[in-house]
Amino acid sequence: MGSIIITGASSGFGRATARKIARLGQPIVLAARRLSRLEALAGELQALAPVKLLALDVRDRESVFEQFGNLPEPFSDVAVLVNNAGLALGLGAADEANMDDWETMVDTNIKGLMYCTRAILPTMVKNGLGHIINLGSVAASWPYPGGNVYGGSKAFVQQFSRNLRSDLVGKGIRVSNIEPGMCETEFSVVRFDGDEAKAGAVYDGMQPLSAEDIADLICWVISLPAHININQLEVMPVAQAWSAFAVDRGD
Ligand code: NDP
Ligand code: 8X3
């Protein structure tokens, strides 16, 4: 029975997935920067499953390889990696965007996900068994004003997930890219730099997805028989859909 690593387990999808998956009793590794949050979560879960906490910034390549490479028993044989840590910063137009925000999104959503994947893959290949679950977004496929680098980073996740499948075919490893639309977590609070009112307004008068909805999907994807690979799963709340093209009529 291999272990399950969840990055970004201190909030939102990661925390909800940890809560749900702990019921399986498999060893769980919870990773995030805010260790106090992980400690509180471990307090809830350790009666259900062995839990290991990692204070980890996925942007720190050395730390990712060091911490993932030195997991003790019974956590070292990783069966599932949920690459969930990620964020959006800002919703401004590209010509006004903050370069630091752009770099943080690239470093976290692209490079961090790359490091975690590369650090764990050799174990999975050696075992001939594994499942990488990446958290993409509808923003990977559908542009919206202010989505610029965030959407670009999730487009990387989409294509990287597919290319991983190409590299890993025949090695017993599954790769799934879950692409949610609007979901009320701390995502918008982070995007709007802690402005709770602005974040709350995003979900005013509509029913967004919940973190538990996404956790259910992640657990379902993992639970499928080993010969089934969900490549990509795009999910939106019913209250969200696409809009017409913007057309500049010069007025
Ligand atoms: P939350 O803000 O609630 O959770 C994000 C998690 O990512 C936190 O646990 C945070 O932990 C962690 N994280 C952020 N930066 C780092 C870092 N450098 N190193 C380690 N962990 C980090 O958001 P969600 O749960 O909504 O988001 C989870 C994923 O889902 C993200 O990849 C997001 O892009 C994606 N997503 C979200 C959608 C939504 O509408 N909510 C829709 C589509 C995709 P800590 O700060 O403690 O490090
Ligand atoms: C988060 C969903 O629609 O804000 O990835 O881009 S959205």
Q: Is residue 242 situated within a structural domain?
A: no
* Gap from CA of 109 to ligand 2 centroid (Å): 13
Q: Which residues contact 134 (CB under 8 A, 6 or more apart)?
A: 83, 113, 157, 160, 161, 175, 176, 177, 178
Name the residue with the closest Cα to ligand 2, atom 4. 182
Low-confidence stretches of the chain (pLDDT < 70) are none
Look at the chain and report how many structural domains it folds into: 1
Specify whether 115 is catalytic: no
Q: Ligand 1 in contact with 75 (CB < 6 A)?
A: no
Given this model, what pLDDT does residue 192 score?
Answer: 98
Q: Is residue 225 situated within a structural domain?
A: yes
Query: Running DSSP on this structure, what letter comes out for residue 10?
Result: T
What confidence tens digit (pLDDT) does each residue in 137-147 have?
Answer: 999 999 999 99
Given this model, what pLDDT does residue 7 score?
Answer: 99
Q: Which domain holds residue 197?
A: 3-235
CATH code of the domain covering residue 177: 3.40.50.720
- Find out whether 183 and 209 touch, Cβ atoms under 8 Å: yes
Q: Is residue 119 situated within a structural domain?
A: yes
